[in-house]
Amino acid sequence: MKDWTGILRLEAEVRNGKTVAKNVYFQGAFKVMRPVYHDDSGQACYYILNPGGGYLDGDRYQMKISLKEQARLTLTTQSATKIYKTPNQYAYQETEISLKKGSYLEYITDPLIGYQDARYKQKTVIRMEKGATLLYSDIITSGWSPDGAQFSYDMLQLINEIYVDDELMVFDHIKLNPAAQDMTSLGFMEGFSHLGSMIVVGEQANDDLLDRLYHAIHEDTKEYKIGLSLLPTSGIIIRILANSTQTIEKIHTACHHIINREFFNTTPSFLRKY
């Protein structure tokens, strides 16, 4: 793929105790705002913007993020990623992330919304050195359709590969294909409309942290379903099925607070977007 609809490059390092950009480049329908510092920790927050308002037929996006040693960065979107009708060619995004020892990345995206007849593929490859820390989250949901159908998009596919010291530790593949699958059946959405995921990889991600997360978010309710698992490396993955973005965001926020207290003895910043 040579012709990209949008390109983003961001390389960050620490200077005088503060995470700053060493290199920033963007082109086309991808932009990044100037960094925001929510507190005095030196952790930078960058907001990704899509001036086009959504992903259209054949759109292709490429993003490369690199954190040097001890750099701490929050990367988030300004708003939901909207995938519109793609009658000829699916929309595509690939992301490459490099995390050096002691660095910390929070990659927190707003919901990915698939509208009627949308097809979208996303591949994210994260290469970490031992001693780096990652917190990644996403939400997938359906967009509005004329007939009110919940799953009117054709296909949404997300692939995450996480390497630690060049060894593949996580291969996470989600493929929702309403055109060929019954999304309400067991093993798919099971009567829910929204799917949330959170992955944390770091040396403190162990059984004790898993227990704390479980007791903090587990409830005997029919509003959502939650699954938590340890990863083969020092890591945890959380899956949530629900019927609203707000329900998943509330659970993600609770987990985020616990993880930050455990890893850094800090409180996450509020990523105000409206």
State the Cα torsion 260-266-268-269 to the nearest 10°.
-160
What is the predicted pLDDT for the residue at 271? 67
| C-beta separation of 122 from 157 below 8 A | yes
Q: Which long-range contacts (CB under 8 A, 24 or more apart) does 252-257 make?
A: 252/108, 252/137, 252/196, 252/198, 254/216, 254/217, 255/198, 255/213, 255/216, 255/217, 256/106, 256/108, 256/135, 256/137
Report the C-alpha gap between 68 and 66 in whole angstroms: 7
Let me know the angle formed at the C-alpha of 244 by 31 and 201, rounded to the nearest 5 degrees: 60
pTM of this prediction exceeds 0.75: yes
What is the predicted pLDDT for the residue at 1? 46
| Selection from 170, 98, 95, 105 nearest residue 127 by Cα | 98
Report the C-alpha gap between 57 and 64 in whole angstroms: 23
**Burial of 207 (C-beta count, 10 Å sphere; 0-12/13-18/19+):** exposed
Domain spans of the chain? 22-264
3-state secondary structure of 125: strand
The pLDDT tens digits along the chain (274 residues) read 468 999 999 999 999 999 999 999 999 999 999 999 988 889 999 999 988 889 999 999 999 999 999 999 999 999 999 999 999 999 999 999 999 999 999 999 999 999 999 999 999 999 999 999 999 999 999 998 887 778 999 999 999 999 999 999 999 999 999 988 888 887 789 999 999 999 999 998 999 999 999 999 888 888 999 999 999 889 999 999 999 999 999 999 999 999 988 887 777 776 665 5
Tell me what percent of the chain is helix, strand and coil, each rounded to the nearest 5.
10, 45, 40
State the Cα torsion 249-251-254-257 to the nearest 10°.
-60
Report the C-alpha gap between 272 and 274 in whole angstroms: 6
State the DSSP H helix or E strand holding residue 248, giving kind and residue range, or none if neither.
Answer: helix 245-264
